[in-house]
Amino acid sequence: MKRMGQIMYLHKDSYAEYQKRHNNLFPEMRKALKEAGAHNYSIFLNKDDGMLFAYLEVDNVEKYNDIAKTDAAKKWWAYMEPLMDTNPDKSPVTVDLDEMFHLD
Protein backbone atom coordinates (compact mmCIF):
# COMPACT_ATOMS: atom_id res chain seq x y z
CA MET A 1 0.00 0.00 0.00
CA LYS A 2 1.26 3.47 -0.95
CA ARG A 3 0.09 6.73 0.63
CA MET A 4 -0.17 9.53 -1.92
CA GLY A 5 -0.51 13.29 -1.53
CA GLN A 6 -1.32 15.65 -4.37
CA ILE A 7 -2.07 19.33 -4.83
CA MET A 8 -4.58 20.65 -7.37
CA TYR A 9 -5.94 24.14 -8.01
CA LEU A 10 -9.61 25.10 -7.83
CA HIS A 11 -10.99 28.37 -9.21
CA LYS A 12 -12.06 30.58 -6.31
CA ASP A 13 -15.63 30.98 -7.59
CA SER A 14 -16.10 27.20 -7.85
CA TYR A 15 -15.84 25.95 -4.27
CA ALA A 16 -19.52 25.13 -3.75
CA GLU A 17 -19.94 23.56 -7.19
CA TYR A 18 -16.81 21.43 -6.75
CA GLN A 19 -18.13 20.03 -3.48
CA LYS A 20 -21.61 19.50 -4.98
CA ARG A 21 -20.16 17.52 -7.88
CA HIS A 22 -18.01 15.38 -5.59
CA ASN A 23 -21.00 14.71 -3.36
CA ASN A 24 -22.60 13.27 -6.52
CA LEU A 25 -19.56 11.45 -7.90
CA PHE A 26 -20.44 9.57 -11.09
CA PRO A 27 -21.02 5.89 -10.22
CA GLU A 28 -18.67 4.84 -13.03
CA MET A 29 -15.93 7.09 -11.60
CA ARG A 30 -16.40 5.65 -8.10
CA LYS A 31 -16.17 2.15 -9.62
CA ALA A 32 -13.03 3.06 -11.62
CA LEU A 33 -11.33 4.40 -8.49
CA LYS A 34 -12.15 1.26 -6.53
CA GLU A 35 -11.01 -1.00 -9.38
CA ALA A 36 -7.75 0.98 -9.57
CA GLY A 37 -7.13 0.16 -5.91
CA ALA A 38 -7.78 3.63 -4.46
CA HIS A 39 -9.13 3.88 -0.94
CA ASN A 40 -9.14 6.21 2.05
CA TYR A 41 -9.39 9.12 -0.44
CA SER A 42 -9.98 12.63 0.89
CA ILE A 43 -9.68 16.08 -0.67
CA PHE A 44 -9.18 19.22 1.43
CA LEU A 45 -9.60 22.88 0.37
CA ASN A 46 -7.60 25.95 1.35
CA LYS A 47 -10.34 28.58 0.95
CA ASP A 48 -7.78 31.40 0.90
CA ASP A 49 -6.24 30.42 -2.43
CA GLY A 50 -8.22 27.51 -3.93
CA MET A 51 -5.46 24.97 -3.37
CA LEU A 52 -6.75 21.43 -2.97
CA PHE A 53 -4.83 18.78 -1.07
CA ALA A 54 -5.74 15.21 -1.96
CA TYR A 55 -4.73 12.23 0.16
CA LEU A 56 -5.33 8.67 -0.90
CA GLU A 57 -3.97 5.20 -0.46
CA VAL A 58 -3.45 2.87 -3.40
CA ASP A 59 -2.62 -0.81 -3.58
CA ASN A 60 -0.38 -0.39 -6.65
CA VAL A 61 0.74 2.98 -8.07
CA GLU A 62 1.04 1.74 -11.67
CA LYS A 63 -2.44 0.23 -11.56
CA TYR A 64 -3.83 3.42 -10.07
CA ASN A 65 -2.13 5.58 -12.73
CA ASP A 66 -3.87 3.52 -15.44
CA ILE A 67 -7.15 5.15 -14.37
CA ALA A 68 -6.18 8.01 -16.70
CA LYS A 69 -6.88 5.69 -19.65
CA THR A 70 -10.48 4.97 -18.61
CA ASP A 71 -13.56 6.51 -20.17
CA ALA A 72 -14.85 7.22 -16.65
CA ALA A 73 -11.85 9.41 -15.79
CA LYS A 74 -11.98 11.25 -19.13
CA LYS A 75 -15.70 11.95 -18.65
CA TRP A 76 -15.11 13.15 -15.07
CA TRP A 77 -12.23 15.41 -16.11
CA ALA A 78 -14.34 17.03 -18.82
CA TYR A 79 -17.11 17.61 -16.26
CA MET A 80 -14.71 19.14 -13.73
CA GLU A 81 -12.56 21.12 -16.20
CA PRO A 82 -14.49 24.42 -15.91
CA LEU A 83 -13.89 24.49 -12.14
CA MET A 84 -10.14 24.02 -11.89
CA ASP A 85 -6.74 24.39 -13.51
CA THR A 86 -6.37 21.65 -16.11
CA ASN A 87 -3.96 20.23 -18.67
CA PRO A 88 -4.73 20.14 -22.41
CA ASP A 89 -6.32 16.66 -21.98
CA LYS A 90 -8.64 18.18 -19.30
CA SER A 91 -6.94 16.25 -16.49
CA PRO A 92 -6.39 18.39 -13.41
CA VAL A 93 -3.05 20.09 -13.01
CA THR A 94 -1.58 17.98 -10.22
CA VAL A 95 1.58 18.24 -8.14
CA ASP A 96 2.60 14.93 -6.60
CA LEU A 97 4.03 15.28 -3.11
CA ASP A 98 6.77 13.19 -1.52
CA GLU A 99 5.94 11.72 1.87
CA MET A 100 8.32 13.16 4.44
CA PHE A 101 6.81 11.82 7.68
CA HIS A 102 4.20 9.32 8.80
CA LEU A 103 2.98 8.39 12.27
CA ASP A 104 0.68 5.41 12.79
Q: Which residues of 51-86 are buried (b: 16+ CB within 10 A; e: fewer)?
A: ebebebebeeeeebeebeebebbeebbeebeebbeb
Q: What is the DSSP letter of 104?
A: -
The question of whether 39 is a catalytic residue gets the answer no
Q: Which amino acid is at 43?
A: I
Q: Which residues contact 100 (CB under 8 A, 6 or more apart)?
A: none
- Single out the catalytic residue among 11, 22, 39, 102: 22
Give the residue numbers marked as catalytic: 22
